[in-house]
């Protein structure tokens, strides 16, 4: 059985923190699907297609990583793509408390899908998409927080 993992999120925009988690998870799984979730309660700055394009560019030479856009429950999307693992990045203790409650609910819905937590590298703990969006909205330079593919599209 292939070890397929879903890394779900909004990734609005993709940050170095997201890339760090994916890169460190690569040895653990046969395939990582970056699932760009459509959340009706959020108003994203970038289209799902743009976010998917960034991941496709970043991982164009890594066959184990693919990206997709999905709607609905994450656990249902895992079932659809045959993923038995959900990957989540943790920056702070507060992240863990929130993520654990989601993992517990997911485990109740489907015991065959396990959530794996990776802690972010200390240099990326302050990197959050919310902060990056605020910098961008106010005309600042968010380059220190972004992968090169994102920088290239935002600052041509």
Q: In whole numbers, what is the pLDDT of the chain averaged over residues?
A: 95
pLDDT at 127: 83
pLDDT at 126: 84
Q: Closest Cα to residue 74, out of 116, 42, 102, 40? A: 102
What pTM does this model have?
0.95
* Structural domain boundaries in the chain: 4-154
Residue whose tokens read 């709607």: 71
Tokens of 86: 């959900």
Q: If residue 87 lies in a helix (H) or strand (E), which one and from where to where?
A: strand 85-90
- Neighbouring residues of 143: CB distance < 8 A, sequence distance ≥ 6: 151, 155
- CA 95, 98, 104, 110 torsion-angle sign: negative
CATH superfamily of 4-154: HUPs (3.40.50.620)
The model's pLDDT over 38-95, given as tens digits with 9 standing for 90+, comes to 987 778 999 999 999 999 999 999 999 999 999 999 999 999 999 999 999 999 888 8
The model's pLDDT over 28-45, given as tens digits with 9 standing for 90+, comes to 999 999 999 998 777 899
Q: What's the rounded Cα separation, in Å, for the pair 98 and 81?
A: 25
pLDDT at 40: 74
Pairing of strands 85-90, 114-119: parallel
Q: For the CA atoms of the chain, what is the radius of gyration?
A: 15
Q: What's the rounded Cα separation, in Å, for the pair 91 and 116?
A: 14
Residue whose tokens read 């997709």: 68
């Amino acid at each position: 059985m292939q070890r397929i993992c879903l890394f779900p999120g909004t990734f609005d925009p993709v940050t170095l923190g997201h890339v760090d988690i994916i890169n460190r998870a690569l040895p653990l799984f046969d395939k990582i699907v970056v699932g760009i979730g459509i959340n009706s309660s959020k108003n994203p700055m970038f289209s799902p297609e743009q976010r998917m394009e960034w991941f496709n560019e970043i991982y164009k030479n890594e066959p184990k990583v693919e990206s997709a856009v999905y709607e609905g429950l994450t656990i249902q999307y895992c079932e659809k793509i045959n993923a038995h693992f959900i990957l989540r990045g943790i920056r702070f203790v507060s992240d863990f408390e929130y993520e654990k409650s989601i993992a517990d609910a997911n485990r109740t819905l489907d015991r065959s899908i396990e959530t794996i937590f990776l802690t972010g590298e200390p240099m990326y703990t302050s990197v959050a998409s919310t902060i990056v969006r605020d910098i961008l909205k106010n005309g600042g330079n968010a380059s220190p927080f972004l992968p090169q593919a994102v920088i290239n599209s935002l600052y041509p």
